[in-house]
Every structure is written in C-alpha cells, then in structure tokens.
Amino acid sequence: MRLHNLEQRCTMCAGEMRRVSVRGVCPTHQLISTPLHQHSELQLRLAPAELHGNALKLYLIRHTESENNAVLARNGAPEERVPDPELTDIGHRQAELLGEHLAHPEAEPRQLPGWDSDRRGYELTHLYCSLMTRSILTAQYIAGACGLNVTAHEDIYEYGGLFEHPGDGKTKFEGPGRDYFESRFPALDLPDTLGTSGWYGRPRESETEFLARTRRAVQDILEAHGASNDAVALVVHGDFIDQFINELLGFARREQNYAGHWVSNWAMHNTSVTRIDLHAETRTVVYTNRIDHLPSKLVTW
C-alpha cells in the first residue's frame, strides 16, 4: 500500500476545497476526488488535462420507487416486504422523468457548466440492470427514451438477494428463470448462464458473500469498459451502489451496517444519478445522488 496525497484544489476552478470527512470537496462544483486514503493499485492524482481526456464515464442509477420502498416509508419497518417487488405508480412516473432527463441533449451539461463542454448530454452507450424486477422496469424506461438495449448482469442485484422479512434467512428463493424473462421482457439481453431454473436459487445472501460479489461486479465492469470512452449506466440498488463505490475507490464499508439501523457511506434516493469518471490513473466522483429531474413531491427513498 502507498499513501497518495491529493492537492486540495478543485480541478475545475482551482478554488480551494474544504474537507468533508476524508473527502476533498469543492462546494461550487461538488467534485469529490478519490480521498486521502490508502489505495493499492492506483496513483491517485488529479489534473485538469486528465479530467478532460479519455475516460470511462460510469453512471450509477438507483431504481425508482418499489412496493418495498413504499412499505418502509409508510410503516417505518419492512415487515410487509416481498422478495422481488414491482414498481409503485410513483415509481413508474419517476422512471418516465428519469428517462426523459437522461435522453435530453442538455441535461448533464447544464448541471455542470464548463465541464465536458464538447459533449451533448449524457450520451449513454451501454445500459445494465440486475435481474430484479424493479431494476429491469426502471431500465426499460431509460432504454426507450435513449434508444439503448438493456443487458441484465447477474452480479449487480441488491444486498441479500431474494428474501422475505421477517424470515429465518434460510428459506431458499429460486426467482424467475429464462422462460419468464423471455416472456415478460423479450427485449432484455439475458446472461448466458441463466437457465430454466430460477436465477437466484439460494437463501438470503450473507454480508461476506455480498462483498465478494460486489468486488466481482466491479472487476467485470472494468474489464469490459475500463479502457474505453464509454458512458455506462448501471441501474441498480441503494446498498449495492454504496458498496460498489466503496470497492471502486477503496473506502472501508461502514461497520455494523444494519446492526439496528441502516448506515452507509453513500446515500441514494430513488432515481438518483451518480457519476464516476475513470481515467488511466485517476478515479473521480463528479457528483452523487443527483435528483434534479424530480419535482419535490416525487422524491422518495
């Protein structure tokens, strides 16, 4: 391990950054650079030329409101949750607005004046979702608005997998198989490994299994797109996004997560957009949890 120090100046305006926790943040541009933190394989340095050069633009998008989200908001507890919820009516409306936002040619440039001035909107090139219904449905709205195909990735589902609450954590849930997905979502690009039996087929996932799976997902996305100029969107889940960013940037996962209450490094609303740019030697969080596309009455967790 080698500790790399970052100059505490915003690479967009050269203004001083103020320190928030362990991250350097420019309050004007909300730029969060990879922190003053130990990282094993990257030389973490920031320079304006690098940030405007070739880079993978990675967008982590949380699904829209699901029935489980609504249950938690209504009851303050997840006792009525189901293993694989549908979207609510609000969730469908959120998804429409999210798709319109991501397809708009000025949506991102007007949020980031002076940043990527040669780009015309998000210009997404690839769109991934998990095999969970709320992720697929959200991704379909984006695909329709942006003219993209949707690829289901077997490792980017939510922490815990398919499970009931309350439950013993030992009940095995199969989940739908290939025939179901091909019938309900005929345009979805399915993993080659998905057979006629259910895609999940195990008890509730442990935290150790979750951490290993998230690490595998990060490696897979980087192997597929890391040396490119792609703009890749992953339509995924709150806890998964939290740990995906932790793994990508070398943050430690918050200890005792779910021990009495939920804690995370990165909180995400439904439909939120988070952008991370990956250059050859730099990983930069450009913004997190953007929900500018939603009116206040449609903001949900």
Enter the tokens of residue 124.
């997404």
* Whether residue 190 is found in the same domain as residue 84: yes
- For residue 252, is pLDDT > 50? yes
* Whether residue 9 is found in the same domain as residue 103: no
- Mean pLDDT calculated for residue range 197-205: 95
Residues 126 and 121: their CA atoms lie apart, in Å, by 15
* Whether residue 169 is found in the same domain as residue 65: yes
Which of the pair, 46 or 277, is modelled with greater confidence?
Answer: 277
Enter the tokens of residue 180.
């179901």
Query: Which percentage of the chain shows pLDDT scores above 90?
Result: 62
Q: What is the pLDDT of residue 262?
A: 59
The number of distinct structural domains making up the chain is: 2
* Whether residue 149 is found in the same domain as residue 294: yes
- What would the DSSP string read from start to end of 127-182? EEE-SSHHHHHHHHHHHHHHT---EE-TT-SPTT-S--SS--S---B----HHHHH
Residues 285 and 297: their CA atoms lie apart, in Å, by 28
Q: pLDDT per residue over 92-126, tens digit each?
A: 999 999 999 999 998 887 766 666 666 678 999 99
Q: How confident is residue 31, by pLDDT bands cut at 50, 70 and 90?
A: very low
| Torsion over CA: 107, 113, 115, 116 (sign) | positive
- For residue 23, is pLDDT > 60? no
Q: What global pTM score does this model have?
A: 0.81
User: What residues contact 283, with CB distance under 8 A and at least 6 apart?
Assistant: 34, 42, 44, 248, 249, 276, 277
* Whether residue 108 is found in the same domain as residue 22: no
* Whether residue 179 is found in the same domain as residue 265: yes
Report residue 184 CA to chain centroid gap.
24
Domain, as residue range, for 38: 1-46
At CB < 8 A and 24+ separation, what contacts does 67-71 make?
A: 69/270, 69/300, 69/301, 70/300
Angle (CA) 287 33 288, round 5°:
15
Strand pairing category for 56-62 and 231-236: parallel
> Is omega for the bond preceding 113 within 30 degrees of 0, making it cis?
no
* Whether residue 247 is found in the same domain as residue 214: yes
CATH number at residue 119: 3.40.50.1240
* Whether residue 34 is found in the same domain as residue 166: no
Q: For residues 142, 148, 152 and 156, what is the CA-based torsion angle, rounded to 10 degrees?
A: -60
How much is the mean pLDDT over the chain? 82
Q: What is the pLDDT of residue 75?
A: 82
* Whether residue 23 is found in the same domain as residue 167: no
Q: What is the pLDDT of residue 30?
A: 39
Q: What is the pLDDT of residue 20?
A: 30
Residues 294 and 93: their CA atoms lie apart, in Å, by 10
Q: Contact 301/269 with Cβ under 8 angstroms? A: yes
Q: Contact 200/162 with Cβ under 8 angstroms? A: yes
Q: What is the pLDDT of residue 165?
A: 74
Q: What is the pLDDT of residue 53?
A: 58
Q: What is the pLDDT of residue 117?
A: 60
Q: How confident is residue 16, by pLDDT bands cut at 50, 70 and 90?
A: very low
Which of the pair, 266 or 5, is modelled with greater confidence?
Answer: 266
* Whether residue 167 is found in the same domain as residue 196: yes
* Whether residue 100 is found in the same domain as residue 35: no
Residues 141 and 101: their CA atoms lie apart, in Å, by 11
Matching residue, tokens 């309050």: 27
Please state, in angstroms and as integers, the Cα–Cα distance from residue 248 to each residue in 23, 46, 123, following that order: 15, 16, 23
* Whether residue 91 is found in the same domain as residue 171: yes
**Where does the chain have alpha helices with state H?**
48-51, 67-75, 89-103, 133-146, 178-184, 207-225, 238-249
